[in-house]
Amino acid sequence: MIRVKELTRTYGDLTAVDRVSFEIGRGEVVGLLGHNGAGKTTILKMLTGYLEPTDGSIEIDGLDIGSEREAVQQRIGYLPENDPLYYEMTVIDYLDYAATLHGVPVAQRTDRIRDSIIQTELSSKVTDTIGTLSRGFCQRVGVAQAILHSPLVLLLDEPTNGLDPTQVQHMRELIRSLAEHATVILSSHILQEVQAICDRIIIIHNGQKVLDSTMEELLASKRLLVAIDAEPERALDLLNSIDGVAAVEPMAQQGPGHRYALDMGNFDDPAGTAPIVANQIAMEGWKLYALQPERHDLEKIFSEISVQDGR
């Protein structure tokens, strides 16, 4: 659906985006994650055709944005970081105006506006002036204009920025529902939002792509965490002898018992070794306080990437 190759954007001596490449399949929900100023918004603007790349190529739905920009833009719905709203207009008038700009045929316009209002749960606000709405409802109006023309690709730039916890939850639910019909790229610097919504993460740092992984692969680990009442002098030899365990690392004590990390090496599913570990511990007569696969923390991964680059 989306193919980006060696995408670059410079402003004089400043390189805002530096040779970024990725591919996104139809129906994926991808988080574009990075600090403020990392280059996320610049990438989105180039994907919409609003900003021309200095170098590189963008292909969406088999169309090259350089030579078929208008056709590509017809396939894209875009919510900028700052809502493109006219605050003196009512919601219904604004959406009718936006539908005109999107080129929605007159015969379909009423149905498309109604559908976008229902999807974004704006029915109670259609006659309200946009300037009287809360930040959360303004964001919904912004999303409504982005989906009026039933786009194949939906680009959302910081969609939960400035929302309260209730509004954030509503926006998450809305994005999940929209993802049933469109490929979604969500740009954010808020880790919790990306983790809650996205199936895959691309991390941008200083204009470069530094990580591209599915959420499952990113958070998974090939280690088992175990807590038992046996100190290292007794436990290490036994744990190292268990089939599938490549290495054992004693960990800082938290709670009852002694904690160890069991590295499963090339085993794809550490949880599959858990019953064997539990059985060996039971045969030794040791108390088992905890046994679970280790989970990586997105915040930690993000921090480590930042530290490596001196941020």
The domain locations on the chain are 2-218, 221-294
Confidence (pLDDT) at 74:
93
In the chain, the amino acid numbered 299 is: E
User: How is domain 2-218 classified at the CATH fold level?
Assistant: Rossmann fold (3.40.50)
Confidence (pLDDT) at 309:
55
Between CA 4 and CA 23 the distance in angstroms is 6
- Going by C-alpha positions, the residue among 221, 238, 219, 220 that lies closest to residue 229 is 238
Torsion of CA 143, 145, 146, 147, to 10 degrees: 90
Contact 42, 17 (CB under 8 A): yes
Burial of 218 (0-12, 13-18, 19+ CB in 10 A): middle
Confidence (pLDDT) at 174:
87
Confidence (pLDDT) at 195:
85
- Going by C-alpha positions, the residue among 188, 177, 1, 6 that lies closest to residue 79 is 188
Q: How far is CA 198 from the centre of its chain?
A: 4
Confidence (pLDDT) at 75:
94
Give the position of tokens 């040779």: 19
User: How is domain 221-294 classified at the CATH fold level?
Assistant: Alpha-Beta Plaits (3.30.70)
Confidence (pLDDT) at 84:
82
Confidence (pLDDT) at 268:
60
Confidence (pLDDT) at 229:
94
Token pair of 78 as six digits: 């875009």
Confidence (pLDDT) at 130:
97
Contact 144, 75 (CB under 8 A): no
Confidence (pLDDT) at 308:
58
Confidence (pLDDT) at 190:
82
Average pLDDT across each block of 10 residues of the chain; the chain has 311 residues. List them in order.
96 95 94 90 95 96 94 94 91 96 94 94 96 92 93 92 84 88 90 87 93 83 89 93 90 87 77 88 94 79 67 51
Between β-strands 153-157 and 76-79, what pairing exists: parallel, antiparallel or unpaired?
parallel
- Chain length of the chain: 311
Between CA 269 and CA 259 the distance in angstroms is 20
